[in-house]
Each structure stands twice: as C-alpha cells, then as structure tokens.
Structure 1
C-alpha cells in the first residue's frame, strides 16, 4: 500500500529505465562500429597518382596473394563472381567496380576479372593502387 496521498507529488526520479536505454544504445553503437567492412588485406602495387574512385554503390573485387577472389569481403569463384555482378548490374546499370590485386599475383588473374567485367558491360572499372611514397 502506498503511504502517499493521491495528490502528493513524487520527490524522487527513477533513473533505472534511462540507464537501461543508455546501455542498450551503447551496445548497439559498439556493435555497429566494429561491424564496418574492413576488406581483405593485400599488398597493392605502387603508382605515382592515386585517383579517388569510391562511389556509394561501388563493388570491390579483391585478388589476394594466393589468387583467391573476393567480392567485397566474401570469397567467390569466377563463376560466382559473374552471377553476383550480373545481379548487381541489373539493379544498378552504371555499377562501378574496383579491382584490388595483390602485387605478387599473376597478371592473368586480374585480366580474367577485367574480361568478366567487360562481358557484363561494366564500363566504370578501376584498378586500386597505393600512392608512391618518394
């Protein structure tokens, strides 16, 4: 039974629900910031000028030192890459694609990916390099 009368105002504030909300928001913030795409680490070749190629719906095709192909950060075969890029191209007709090839891989792997993009009529194609440090 409450000892207060019906018209008597409260003299304390219960902050437990506010703290619960703050902790939930903190956990969501931590999860979202650590879930950002880091990409696959490759040793990029060096170039004297590195233009900015990033656009909002850009797809990154990465080829690591072992010749494994990744679409964004997911490992794929050449056939899977073709089907996925074909579906992205159907959604976004001017789909930009950047290719990040490790400097130690065979040139043939990069050409296979570039040829695949040509067959899919992907005209916005870029090769990612590191800026040459003098």
Structure 2
C-alpha cells in the first residue's frame, strides 16, 4: 500500500529568516538616513545671482558663524587647528577642494583669516557658498 502524505502539517517552529532579513535592511536604512542628515552648521548665507555647483568628492567645508565661530566639517576649530586639519587633508589629496560657508553677518576679518590659511597651505580650489536670490 502507498502511504499518503498530508500537505497541511503543523510546524513546531517558525522560520525567522525573512524577519531577520527585513530587520537588517531596516537597520541599514536607518544608519544611512541618520548619518546623511548630519550635514554641518547652519548659517545664513549671503545672496547672489550667479550660482555654480562646487560639489566634488572629498570637499571640505569651513563654516564661519555670525558670532565668529569656525567649524571644519561641523567640528569646532580655531585658526591653528583649522590649519592642522587642512594640512592633513591636503597631504592625502593634493588637489583638495574647500568651500567656505560664511554667515552674511559674519565678520569679514574671520573670512579673510580662513582664506589666508588656505593660501598658506596652497589650496587653490576654494569656493564661497551663497544662496541664489529668491531661494
């Protein structure tokens, strides 16, 4: 006689592999979204009519706030630590691109000090961040 096998068998355990796959995907998405949201220090950029995109890989951002505070990629720095940090980046990438984000109400002297540091380190790719008029 032939044995009959039922397709509707009860299982003693639950297959959690699909749930773990979903959990790992959600974890990766969460990590990417939270690290992408940290972009730097907010400043009120001056406005201009001519705007050109300066986005390049490995671009370093120097931010000067209204009260004169300076940041290198969202980390607070002084002129000395700014020069040290840029020198390290310049050693690994000789064509280091830098953008300066100055608040519209920042002291002009602070912006010039940052540009002097870039000049001393022979950083030639320097851009100034502005807002397009009407944005």
Question: The TM-score by the shorter chain falls in which range?
Answer: 0.7 to 0.9
What is the TM-score of this pair, normalised by structure 2? 0.86
Distance 1:68 1:74 in 2: 10
Distance 1:101 1:61 in 2: 8
The Cα shift of 1:28 comes to: 2.2
Distance 1:15 1:39 in 2: 43
Moved over 2 A (4+): 11-15
The Cα shift of 1:60 comes to: 0.4
Structure 2: runs of 5+ lacking an equivalent: 1-6
Distance 1:38 1:118 in 2: 25
**Alignment match, 2:125:** 124
- Cα RMSD between the aligned structures? 2.1
Distance 1:96 1:15 in 2: 51
Distance 1:133 1:29 in 2: 34
The Cα shift of 1:14 comes to: 4.4
What is the TM-score of this pair, normalised by structure 1? 0.87
Aligned residues: 127
Does 2:38 align with 1:35?
A: no
**Alignment match, 1:66:** 67
